[in-house]
Structure 1
Amino acid sequence: MQRFGWVFLTSVAAGATIWCTHFVAMLAFEAKAPVQLDPVLTIGSLIVAVVGSFAGFSVAAWRSDRALPAIGGALFGGAISAMHFMGMAAYRVQGAVSWDMGYVVASVACACVFAGAALAVLRSLSLPRHRVALGTVLIVVAIATLHFVAMTAMNIRPMMGSDLALEAEEARALALATALIGLLVIASGVFAAMIDRQTRSDAMQRLHHMAMNDALTGLPNRVGFQGELDRQIAAARTTGGRIGLCAIDLDRFKEINDVHGHKAGDDVLVLLAERMRQAIGPNDMVARLGGDEFVAITRFTDRAQLVAFAALLEATLKAPLSLGQFDARLGASIGVAVFPDDAGDAEALTNNADLAMYRAKCESAPGPCHYDSELDEAIRERREIANDLRRAIEHDELDVHYQVQASIATREVTGYEALLRWTHPERGAIPPSVFIPIAEENGLILSLGEWVLRRACFDAMRWDHQSRVAVNVSALQLAHADLPRLFHQVMLDSGLPPRRLEIELTETAIMANRERALHILRQIKALGVGVALDDFGTGYSSLETLRVFPFDKIKLDRFFTSELEGSPQATAIIRAVLALGKSLAIPVLAEGIETDEQLSVLIREGCDEVQGFLLGHPAPMPVTGAIGATPAADEKVGALERAA
C-alpha cells in the first residue's frame, strides 16, 4: 500500500505538472488565428497524463528487473505524448491544420526513449550519487523534445476570425491559473515528501529510544548501556582516564512481588530508577539490564570518588520507600570494577563487576565489594563449570556408575545405587561434591536429576537380573510438585517396574519443608517406588519422621561404620539404630564398608544390608550377566562369605 500511495502521488504530480507545462506553452503560442479550447478534451488530456504516468511508474517500480524500468519509462513517454496530442486536439484554431507525420513519429519516439532512459537510470544501482540528477535531466529532455518537435509538425493556415475566439487577456489569465495549479501540485508533492521524511525521522527516533531504553523505567537498557560503556572506555583510552562500573542487584525485591504483586514491584523499580537518576552526576550513567539488575558508570580520577559514588548508590537504594499502600526498605548488593585496573575491555569489566556483586550477595557484605582477582576467580570458575555442566546435560556427556548393595543374610546382591559421574573434557573428573552444589546454585538440579533418573531406569531395564536401582533425590527436587508425575512418566517410558526403583533422600531434605515433602513422598510411594532414608545418624535423626512416614529402608551414615574398629561408642550407636529398625520393621543398610573387620561387626550385630568399597567401587554396570556371572560379582559375594 505504501508503494501504491507513492506511485499515485508521483503520477498526479508528474501528470499534472507536465499537463500544466504543455498548456502554458500552448497558450503562449501565437497561431496568427483565433483560438478556442475544448474543455472536455482539455480535462481528458489531464486524465490521460495522470493515468498513463501511473501505469508507467507502476511497471518501473514493480520488481527488480533491468527491463521493467525502461518499459515503464516508455509507457510514461507514450502517456505524455498522448496527453500532448489530445491537448492539441482541444486547441481549436480558426484555420486549416496539417501535420507532418515524420515529426510526429520523431516526437513520440524521443519522448519514449528519453523517458525510458530516465526511469532506467533512476532504478539503477550503479549510479548512487548522480542518478537523481541525470534521471531528472532525461525527463526534462523527453518532455521538451516531445513538445517542440510535435509543435514543429503542426502547420496552420488562418481563416476568417470568430467572435468566440479566446482573447489575449483571457489567455494570460488561463495561463496564470494553469501555472498556479502546477505549482500547487508540485508544492503538495514536496510537502508530502517532507512530512513523510519527518514522520519517518520521528518514528526512527522513537524506535531508537525504544531499542536503547527500558520501557518500564526509562533508563538505558542493556544495549544502550553497552554502547555508552564502549564510548566511555574509548574516551578513557585516549585521555588516560579511569572508568568505574557498579553492578547492582536489589535485595529482598522478590518479597515485594510475592507479597504485594508485580504491579507493586514495577512501582518500586520506577521509584528506585528515578532516585538513582537524580543522585548521579551529569557525566554518570545508570541503566537497567533486566529484572532487578542495574549498572552504573562513572568517570573518576581519585579512588575516593569511586568509593563515594558506590556509597551514594547504596544509600539511595537503602532509603525507605513509601508507595501509599505499603512501606518497604530494600537495599542492594553492589560490585565494583575499574577500567583499566581490573579489566582492559568492556566485556571483561562487566564480568568482573558482576563477579564482585555476586560475592557481595553471597557473603551478605555490609557495603559494596570491589573486584578482587583472587577471591572472584573461584566464582568465575564455578560459573564456567555451571555453563559446561548445562552443556553436558544437553549433549548427554555425563555418566552413571553403580555401587553394589548386598544382603548379609542371603549373601546376594539386592540392588545398585546410581551415582552420577562427570569427566570434563578439559578439567578431567569433577567429583559430585563439587558439581552437585553448583547445579543447585544455578537451577540445574531438576534437569540433572531427571537425566540421572532416566538413565538409571533405562540401564536397569537392560540388566538380565531383577536387582533394584537406587537414585538420590535432593531437597530442591523434593520441593518440586511435579516430581511424582516425573517418576511415573519415566517408568512408563522405560518400562521399569516400580518395585525395582528406590529413591534415597536425607532427612535434611525432608525438613526443608516437612509437610510438603511428606506429601510428595506419599505420592511417590503410592506408585510402588521404594523410599530410603539416607545418611541416618547425622542431621536431625528425628524419630518423629520415622513414625510419620513408613520408610522402606534406613541407610546408616558411613561416619559410624568408619569408626567401628576403634570406637565402642560407634558400635553402641549402630546397635541402637539396628534395634530401632527391627522394632519398626525397617531394614537397615550400612554405608562405607571398606574392611573385613567392619563387615564382621555388622554381621555380628545383625545388620540387614551393606554397601561400600569392600564389596565394589562404583563402576559402569554390565548390560548382561546374572549375579555371580562376572569376576567382579563373585568378589563381592566372596567378601560376604569370608566375613561370615
Structure 2
Amino acid sequence: MRGSYRRTRLLLPWSWWNDPMLNLPSCIAFGHDLVLVGLAVVICAIGSVITARLLRRTMESVGRARIAWISIGAIAAGSTIWCTHFVAMLGYEPGVAVTYEPLITIVSLVVAVVGCGAAFGLASERVRYAAPVGGAAFGIAISVMHYSGMMAIAVNGVIEWNAPLVALSIAFAVVFGAVAFLQVKRRRASGAIVAGAVLVSVAIVALHFTGMAALSIYPNPALEGDILINDVARGLIAFAVTGVGLSILAVGAISYFLDEQTRAQYASRLHHLTQSVVDGVAVVSGGRIVDANAELERMTHLTRAELLGRSMSDFLNVNDAMPEGQVLTATLTPACAAALPVEFALRTEVSTIDATPLTIYSVRDISQRLAQERRILFLAEFDSLTGLRNRASFLDKSASLLHWSADSTRYVMLAVDLDRFKEVNDIHGHSAGDMVLRTAGGRLREILEPGQIGARFGGDEFVVFSQVSSKDQAVTLAERIEKAFSAAIDYDGATLQCYASVGVALYPQDGEEINTLLNNADLAMYRAKASGTERICYYDETLDDAIRAQRRMIDEMRHAIANDEFELHYQAQVRLPDEEIDGYEALVRWRHPTRGLVAPNDFIPAAEQTGLIVRLGEWILRTACTEASRWANALPVAVNISPVQLADPHFVSKVKETLRTTGMDPSRLELEVTESCFIGDNPWANPALQELKSLGIAISMDDFGTGYSSLAMLNSFPFDKIKLDKSLIDQVHANPKAKSIVRAVMSLGDALDVPILAEGVEIVEQLDYLRAEGCSLVQGYYYGKPGRLTVADASAGEPSKSGLSGPARPAAAG
C-alpha cells in the first residue's frame, strides 16, 4: 500500500439525520452488492445454528468436556461473526477504492474467537444470570470484532462515524445476544437451537448493517490512485473468508457428528441400563417418555415404540408434587388390560449429555406379592385343601360366638371322621385321598348356613359348631352331614366310598367351653367309629370315660417313648427233655412314673388301634437286637410283631437297617406273628415274611389255638415254630378235650416237621403232660417270670430248677 489516506470524523447526534446513507434500508440496498449480502446472511444463518448447538452443549457440560465445547464454540462463533462481516464487506460499494490491512484483519478474527470463548465461558457457569451475561459478552465480542475489522479498511477518502448509530448497533448486539443465550438455556432442546440461532443471526446482522449505516466515506480526489493493491487485498480477503467459512462448516460437521455419537452412546447405555432392571423403568424428559424397558412394556401391554412420547399420567396417577425417592402404591391402568397394583418411586437425574432434567420412574408389579399375602392370610385361617377354617381359626371364631351369645342360646358341636379314608389312600393313592377331602369339604360348605362354622382339623377330621333351637335340630344337622359325607365319589373311573362317624356334644349340658365341647364331641365320635354300626353318637359321660382314659394313655405313651420309660423283660424258652435254655422272648414293659410297671395287655391294644405300635415296635426290635448282640452265649431272641407293623410296606427295610446298625446276626432273631397278620387286606404280609425268612430270620406262629387257627395258613407259609396259646395249656392237666387238642397239634407239628412251643407252663402237671406228648419247647412261670436280663444272666444258659417242685419264681432281674 502506498500513499493511502484515511481521515475519520465523528458526526454529532443532531446532524446524522441529514445524511442519506444513514437510512439502514438504503444502506443495504444502495451501498452493497446484494448477492454478497445474501451470501453473508446464509453464512451467518449456518454459523448461528452451529453456534447455538455448541452453546447448548457447552451449557450442558461440566469439567473438561465444558472446556472442550467452549473452545469449539469459540472458534465456530468467532469465525461466523468474522466471516459474515467480511463477506458483507466484500459486497460493500462505497464508491471509492477500498483495501484492508492484513494484520488488523487477522487481529479482528482473533478478537472474535477470544471474545466468543469468554462469552461461552460466562454463559455456561452454574450461577444465576450467567446466560444473559454471557449473551451480553457475546454482543460485545461481535461489536469489538466489527469495529476492529473496520479499522482494517484503507480508502482514498475521509471516513465519518455517526455516534448514535454506533451506539445503537452495539446495543442491538448486546440485547439480542443476551436474549439469544437466555433462550438457548431456558427452552427445550429443539426450540432452544432454533430460537438461539435466529437471535444470534439477528445480533450479528443488526450490528453489522446498523454499524455500516453509521459509516460514511467521502472521496478525496487528491488521493485518487494512491491505493495500488486494492484488488489483491480484496482477493486475499475473499480467500481468507472462504477458508474461514469452510472451517465453520467443518467445525459444525465435526461437532454435530461428535454430539450425535455421544448422544447415541448415552442413549444406548441408558437403554441397556433400563433393560437390565427387573422392575418396569420409564425415563421421562419434558413430561414425555423417552425410554422404557421390556418389563414396563409387559405391564402396560404396549410396545416400546407405543410408549415413547406418552405421559406417565396415562398409566399412573402421578404429578409434579410427588416426593422423590419415596415408594408409593398405586394402580397401573393400561388402556386394553386389567389394572395392576404397583409400587413405584421416582428420582430426578440430569443428563450427562445435555443436562436435560430426567425423571426416572421405577415401577414394580406387586400383584403376585399381594396374591401371596392374601394367600398367607387365607392359610392363617383356612385349610388350603378344603377351604374350611383351620383349627386355630375355628377355635377363635367359635369361642367368640359363644362369648357374645345370650345365656339361653343353645349350640351343638359336631366332630366328624371319615371311615375307610386310610384304605382309599393306600389303594388309590394320596391324590384320591385329597379328592375325597376336597369333596367332603365342598359338601360341608353347601350344608352350612350363615352363622354355622365348619373346619377341617387335619387328616380326615372335620368339626362343625352351630347354634340350634333344639336337640332335634342338632340331630337333623348331624344326619345331613353324615349322609353327605357317606355319598360315593367318582374318581378316575373308580367309585370311592367313605362313611362318616359323627360325635355330637350339646351346649351347655355337655360343656360350657369350646375346648370341653370339642373334646366331648370327639369322644362321642370315637365311640361311633368303634361301634361299627352306629354312625352318629351323642356324648355320654359314662360311656365315654373309657375312651377318655384310652386317649390319655396314648398321650402318655407318646411321652413314654420320647423319655425312655419302656424297658424289655426276657422270658426263657426251655428245650425238652433236657431243660436247656433254647432262647428268650423279649416282652415290653412300661415303667409308668405314677402307676408303676404296666403290663402289655393294658397298653398294646390302644397302641395298635392308634398306630403308635409302629414307633413302639421299632423301639422294641432295636433294643432287643442291641442287647442280644452282647450276649456271649449267642442264644436267639424272639420279638413279637404287630399286624399294624407288618402292614407297613417299609417294614422289611426297617428290619434290615436294625440288623445292620446293631450288628445282630439274622439267624439269632425270631419274629413272632399272630394269625391276624394274615387276615384281611394285607398284601404285604406274606411277601414280607418270605423276604425276612430268606435273610435267615426265624418266623414263628404265635398264639396258635385262638382266633381262626386255620390249617390252610400253616400250609401257605413255612413257619419255623408254632406256639400254643396259654389258654389251651391252662386246662391240659384237667380237661380231656384240651388234652386232645394239644395232642392233635403235637401230631400236626410232627407231620409238618415244625417244633411246637407251649406257652403258659406254670405247674409240674402241665410240664409232665407236655413232656409225655413229646413237646419240643416250653415257656412259662414254671421256669420264672419275665425280668430284666444282664449279659451274665444270658451267658449262664441254664434255667432255675427250683421251680420243678416248688412255686414258680421270677427270673433274675438285671
What's the TM-score once normalised by structure 2's chain length?
0.54
C-alpha deviations, 1:179-209, integer Å up to 9, x for none?
x97x932248699444557978776445423
Q: Which SS does the other structure have where 2:509 is aligned?
A: coil
Q: Which SS does the other structure have where 1:462 is aligned?
A: coil
Other-structure match for 1:378: 546
Q: Say which of 400, 413, 426 aligns to 2:568.
A: 400
1:542 Cα deviation after fit = 3.1
Other-structure match for 2:282: none
2:635 matched to 1:635? no
- How do 1:320-469 and structure 2 match up within 5 A? 325=493, 330-469=498-637
Q: Say which of 618, 622, 627 aligns to 2:790.
A: 622
Q: Which SS does the other structure have where 2:608 is aligned?
A: helix
Q: Which amino acid aligns with 2:802?
A: E
Other-structure match for 2:466: 298
C-alpha deviations, 1:517-553, integer Å up to 9, x for none?
3433332222222222222222333333334433332
2:128 matched to 1:88? yes
Measure, in 2, the Cα distance between the counterparts of 1:548 and 1:331: 34
Q: Say which of 315, 333, 339 aligns to 2:483.
A: 315
C-alpha deviations, 1:547-601, integer Å up to 9, x for none?
4433332222212221123212222222222233233332222211111222222
Other-structure match for 2:320: 185
Measure, in 2, the Cα distance between the counterparts of 1:638 and 1:499: 35
Measure, in 2, the Cα distance between the counterparts of 1:259 and 1:611: 41
Of stretches 338-347 and 447-456 in structure 1, the one that deviates more from structure 2 is 338-347
Residue pair 2:571, 2:584 contacting (<8 A) in 1 also? yes
Residue pair 1:479, 1:513 contacting (<8 A) in 2 also? no
Measure, in 2, the Cα distance between the counterparts of 1:239 and 1:640: 66
Residue pair 1:409, 1:608 contacting (<8 A) in 2 also? yes
C-alpha deviations, 1:477-502, integer Å up to 9, x for none?
33334444433333333333333322
1:422 Cα deviation after fit = 0.6
Measure, in 1, the Cα distance between the counterparts of 2:681 and 2:594: 39
Distance change in 2, residues 1:537/1:257 (3 Å): closer
Other-structure match for 1:208: 377
Measure, in 2, the Cα distance between the counterparts of 1:540 and 1:268: 35
1:161 Cα deviation after fit = 7.0
Q: Say which of 218, 222, 226 aligns to 2:387.
A: 218
Measure, in 1, the Cα distance between the counterparts of 2:668 and 2:492: 58
Measure, in 2, the Cα distance between the counterparts of 1:256 and 1:584: 39
Measure, in 2, the Cα distance between the counterparts of 1:467 and 1:408: 16
Other-structure match for 1:598: 766
Q: Which SS does the other structure have where 2:175 is aligned?
A: coil
What's the TM-score once normalised by structure 1's chain length?
0.67
C-alpha deviations, 1:37-88, integer Å up to 9, x for none?
x96798789xxxxxxxxxxxxxxxxxxxxxxxxxxxxxxxxxxxxxxx9353
C-alpha deviations, 1:130-151, integer Å up to 9, x for none?
xxxxxxxxxxxxxxxxxxxxxx
C-alpha deviations, 1:238-277, integer Å up to 9, x for none?
6653332222223444565566665555455444433332
Distance change in 2, residues 1:294/1:506 (3 Å): closer
Measure, in 2, the Cα distance between the counterparts of 1:325 and 1:556: 47
Q: Which amino acid aligns with 1:601?
A: Y
- How do 1:124-139 and structure 2 match up within 5 A? none
1:624 Cα deviation after fit = 0.8
- How do 1:33-48 and structure 2 match up within 5 A? none
Q: Say which of 242, 247, 251 aligns to 2:410.
A: 242
Other-structure match for 1:228: 397
Measure, in 2, the Cα distance between the counterparts of 1:44 and 1:243: 81
Measure, in 1, the Cα distance between the counterparts of 2:488 and 2:697: 52
Residue pair 1:408, 1:640 contacting (<8 A) in 2 also? no
Measure, in 2, the Cα distance between the counterparts of 1:327 and 1:607: 52
2:175 matched to 1:162? yes
1:448 Cα deviation after fit = 1.7
Measure, in 1, the Cα distance between the counterparts of 2:319 and 2:400: 48
Residue pair 2:733, 2:765 contacting (<8 A) in 1 also? yes
Measure, in 2, the Cα distance between the counterparts of 1:512 and 1:584: 25
Residue pair 2:625, 2:664 contacting (<8 A) in 1 also? yes
Residue pair 1:399, 1:420 contacting (<8 A) in 2 also? yes
Which 5+ residue runs of structure 2 have no aligned equivalent? Answer: 1-54, 63-124, 137-172, 189-285, 288-317, 332-341, 344-365, 809-814
Q: Say which of 681, 691, 700 aligns to 1:532.
A: 700
Q: Which amino acid aligns with 1:635?
A: S
Q: Which amino acid aligns with 1:162?
A: V
- Report percent identity of matched pairs: 39
1:421 Cα deviation after fit = 0.5
Of stretches 185-194 and 360-369 in structure 1, the one that deviates more from structure 2 is 185-194
Kindly report the root-mean-square deviation, in angstroms, between the aligned alpha carbons of the 2 structures.
4.2
Residue pair 2:633, 2:797 contacting (<8 A) in 1 also? no
1:612 Cα deviation after fit = 1.1
C-alpha deviations, 1:111-163, integer Å up to 9, x for none?
xxxxxxxxxxxxxxxxxxxxxxxxxxxxxxxxxxxxxxxxxxxxxxxxx9724
- How do 1:430-579 and structure 2 match up within 5 A? 430-512=598-680, 516-579=684-747
Distance change in 2, residues 1:619/1:331 (3 Å): closer
Residue pair 2:413, 2:463 contacting (<8 A) in 1 also? yes
Distance change in 2, residues 1:420/1:89 (3 Å): farther
Equivalent residues, number: 502
Q: Which amino acid aligns with 1:232?
A: L
Q: Which SS does the other structure have where 1:457 is aligned?
A: helix
Other-structure match for 2:52: none
Q: Which SS does the other structure have where 2:126 is aligned?
A: helix
Of stretches 399-408 and 423-432 in structure 1, the one that deviates more from structure 2 is 423-432
Q: Which amino acid aligns with 1:88?
A: R
Distance change in 2, residues 1:600/1:307 (3 Å): same
Measure, in 1, the Cα distance between the counterparts of 2:508 and 2:617: 43
Q: Which amino acid aligns with 1:465?
A: N
Distance change in 2, residues 1:354/1:633 (3 Å): same
1:398 Cα deviation after fit = 0.8
Q: Which SS does the other structure have where 1:356 is aligned?
A: helix
Measure, in 1, the Cα distance between the counterparts of 2:506 and 2:59: 78
Of stretches 309-318 and 264-273 in structure 1, the one that deviates more from structure 2 is 264-273
Residue pair 2:421, 2:433 contacting (<8 A) in 1 also? yes
Which 5+ residue runs of structure 1 have no aligned equivalent? Answer: 1-37, 46-84, 97-159
Q: Which SS does the other structure have where 1:535 is aligned?
A: strand
Measure, in 2, the Cα distance between the counterparts of 1:89 and 1:379: 95
Measure, in 2, the Cα distance between the counterparts of 1:504 and 1:590: 14
Distance change in 2, residues 1:625/1:370 (3 Å): closer
Other-structure match for 1:273: 441
Larger radius of gyration: 2
Residue pair 1:406, 1:412 contacting (<8 A) in 2 also? yes
Measure, in 2, the Cα distance between the counterparts of 1:249 and 1:321: 16
1:214 Cα deviation after fit = 3.0
Residue pair 1:403, 1:619 contacting (<8 A) in 2 also? yes
Q: Which SS does the other structure have where 2:568 is aligned?
A: strand
The structure in which a higher percent of residues are helix is 1
Residue pair 2:648, 2:684 contacting (<8 A) in 1 also? no
Q: Which SS does the other structure have where 1:624 is aligned?
A: helix
Measure, in 2, the Cα distance between the counterparts of 1:498 and 1:323: 44
